Structures are given as C-alpha cells and as structure tokens.
Amino acid sequence: MILNAIIFLVVVLPGFLGYPINIEDKLALYYPASPHFRPYQFVSHFFMHADPGHIFFNMLGLYFFGPSLEERLGPGRFLLLYIISAIGAMGMHIGEIWWQLRQSYEYLAAFTADPSLANFNGFFSGIDLGGLMMDNGKSVLPIYGNIQNDLAMGTNPEYINTRALDLMQDYVDFQENSRMVGASGAVFGVLAAFAVFFPDREIRPLFIPFGIPAKYMIGVILASEVFLGFMNYNFDSVAHYAHIGGAIAGGIVAYIFAKTVLPPWLKRMDK
C-alpha cells in the first residue's frame, strides 16, 4: 500500500494536477506487439494508477480485506497470493487483447482479399462504435456509416476500399496501443481469496443497513465484472478481464492454501 501511494504521488499526481510530466506512459503496460511496449512494464504497471479515485479504491480494498488474509496465511504467503493474482490479471488482459486482435486480423485479411460490405461489417461486428473518436476528435460512427453506404452502392471502389482499410487499421492500432495500469487485478485476487477463506463473514457496504455474506457480496461484484467485460462498452475504460483474471488466480491459490496451510497462530500453539 505504501509503495503504491509513494509511486502515485511521485509519478502520476503531478501530471493529474496539470504539470507537464508524463512518466506514466512509460510505466503503463502495453500489449507486447505495441511499439510502446517495454519488458519492464510487466512489473512497473502494478504500481501505476490512473487517478486518485483508482488508487483510493484499490487501497481501500486492501485495507479492509488484506489484514484478515495476511493473518490467516502469514505475510509471505499473502504476498505470494497477491503477486500470483497480479500475474493472472496481466495474463488475462493480454489474452483478451490477443483474442480481439486475432479476429481483427482475420477480417482485415479477408477484406483485403475481398473488399465486400460483409467483410467490413464482420470486422466491426460486436464493437460499440458510439464512443470511439478519431485522432481529430470526430466520431467514428458517421465515417463508418458513410463507408458502409459507399460499399453497398459500389461508388468509387478503389477510394472507398482504401478508406475502409484505413479505418480498420486505425482500430487495430487502437487495440494494440491500449494500456493497463494499477493493482486492481491483484486486489480482485484478494477479494476472491477472502470469499474462499471467509465465505460467511458479513460485509457491510456503505449506505446498506445490513451485512451481506462475503460469498454473495463478492460473487455479485465478480459477476458484474464478467458482464461488463463481455459487453465491452466503449465508454468503459476499465480492464474488466484483468479483474476476472486476478480473481481466478487469487481464488485458485486461496483454495490450495485453504487445503494445505495452517494459520500461523495455530502453528505457534502446536510448538
């Protein structure tokens, strides 16, 4: 928690307050095929956060759920769970981008070989274009609609095919150059582990006058992450699949530890 806060204050907060400092772009994690990717980002992005709200809620989650797990597992195993959760989050995030890019490349190759409206629509199927903007600030949606109409009418095919390929390539570049910051995936691993070890312990969220068992409360949170990740809204910049990956990794590690590791205080009593 302390290390996250220090790095946020030194690296992110000055830029957030308007000072011309942009170290964050160097330390965030980019997809390995991106020209912005550097190997050290596998580690550095864990300590980066997008804004004060991002780090506040991550550290709040660690503050409320971390101590009970650390007491149950001991500091060493708790740190191991945290690190494995972070790795699981990173792996799921990169895997999600790889899957999206694989489909995009297939349709891009198909359109290059056969510049048809069907292949153009196939490339953008399932993509919410409403919130996407070009570099000049214009919405992608009317440009997409104009290209659709011209492809359907067969108007000036050479020019329209080039525009269509440019738009598809711009979206591929957008996917490759998306970045991830923060310890949220590791925190979701801690949440999942808490539900494994303390499923019936009541959690009292703000503004709710009664407690909810951890297995239900955390289950709802994880289900919402799956839903939002599947819907992939463009107005939502949260890396939901990273949260899911962290939760899966943390839950698996917690399940293994629950079967094999005695609490440290119980070991001391045995001696």
Q: Where in the chain is the domain with CATH 1.20.1540.10?
A: 2-97+182-270
Concatenated DSSP letters of 183-233: SHHHHHHHHHHHHHH-TT-EE--TT-SS-EEHHHHHHHHHHHHHHHHHH--
3-state secondary structure of 249: helix
Tens digit of each residue's pLDDT, the chain (271 residues): 566 666 666 666 666 666 666 677 788 899 999 999 999 999 888 877 666 777 778 888 888 899 999 999 999 999 999 999 999 999 999 999 999 899 999 999 999 999 999 999 999 987 877 777 777 777 888 899 999 999 999 888 899 999 999 999 999 998 899 888 878 999 999 999 999 999 999 998 777 888 899 999 999 999 999 999 988 777 777 889 999 999 999 999 999 999 887 776 565 544 4
Select from 249, 255, 257 the least CA-distant residue to 73: 257
In the chain, the N- to C-terminal Cα span, in Å, equals 33
Q: Does domain 2-97+182-270 have CATH number 1.20.1280.290?
A: no
Question: Which residues have C-beta within 8 Å of that of residue 251, sequence separation ≥ 6?
Answer: 189, 192, 193, 195, 196
- The length of the chain is 271
CB burial of residue 217 (10 Å; 0-12, 13-18, 19+): buried
Q: For helices 240-260 and 75-113, what crossing angle results, to 10°? A: 140
d(CA 168, CA 163): 9
